[in-house]
Amino acid sequence: MTTRIASLASFAAVALASLAINGCAAGARTASVGFAVPVSTASAITAVPEVRATRVIATRVDLRQPIYVRHDGDAIEVTYATRQREGLTVSLDPSSLATSSEAPYVYTRCSSKSAAAHLARGVTNVELHDGREVAVFTTDDSSRVMARVGDDGPIPVSPEGAVVVGPPRPSTDGKTIAVVYVVATADGFSLVVSLVGVSA
């Protein structure tokens, strides 16, 4: 497992370097999922926070364009590129993460200087309805997405063995958090979403 993760991490580093150099001229890849995605990873013991569901949105993602996620009424909207400027906006059920609809999306033309800027890692904070903040980030050592409430210890969001590329993109309705992130596979990149709930 350690060797495989190291190999995927190396592949991701090379791919990101190519993005930085070639920008929109880089080629898209078709990915096959190479990690286990549980239907639900919620623990029997309530965690703060807890991962309630995880699913793969797409196995063909073009990282030359940014990924957007937001809550829109009773849906979670995720926008991503499939090839160069061509993309999709997918609406997900906020409870099951099932796809309810999808529509084409066209990105504006990007430059090679800004193509990989959206892949820089960092911490993103989202605020819950009770005022608590949840920090969501990708670790440098394990390339895994984590979530942390206040001073509590972080818990893993992404599946074990998945090598995450770039930062997670969280969105919240104030009660649950949808965390969208990119995972490197042997053939390319997959787009994954995890639904995170936070107990009182």
Q: Is 1's pLDDT higher than 90?
A: no
Q: Alpha-carbon distance 178 to 176, whole Å?
A: 7
Asked if the bond preceding 156 is cis, omega within 30° of 0, the reply is: no
Number of folded domains that form the chain: 1
Q: Is 12's pLDDT higher than 90?
A: no
The secondary structure of residue 192, as a DSSP letter, is E
**Structural tokens at position 185:** 């596979």
Question: Could you tell me which residue, 34 or 119, shows the higher pLDDT?
Answer: 119
Average pLDDT over residues 24-31: 43
3-state secondary structure of 44: coil
Q: Alpha-carbon distance 113 to 25, whole Å?
A: 12
Closest-CA residue to 198 (of 42, 40, 39)? 42
Confidence class of residue 116 from pLDDT cuts 50, 70 and 90?
low
Per-residue pLDDT at 150? 83
> How much of the chain exceeds pLDDT 90, in percent?
54
Confidence class of residue 199 from pLDDT cuts 50, 70 and 90?
confident
Q: Alpha-carbon distance 115 to 128, whole Å?
A: 31
Sign (positive/negative) of CA torsion 42, 90, 185, 17? negative
pLDDT tens figures, 141-177 = 889 999 999 888 899 999 999 999 999 999 999 999 9
pTM: 0.79
CA distances (Å), origin 194, targets 3, 7, 108, 163: 25, 24, 28, 15
Contacts 24+ apart (CB under 8 A), 42-45: 42/197
Per-residue pLDDT at 9? 52
pLDDT tens figures, 31-58 = 445 555 554 444 333 346 899 999 999 9
Average pLDDT over residues 188-199: 93
Average pLDDT over residues 104-114: 75
Domain range enclosing 190: 2-197
- Asked whether 155 and 146 are in contact (CB, 8 A), the reply is yes
Q: Is 59's pLDDT higher than 70?
A: yes
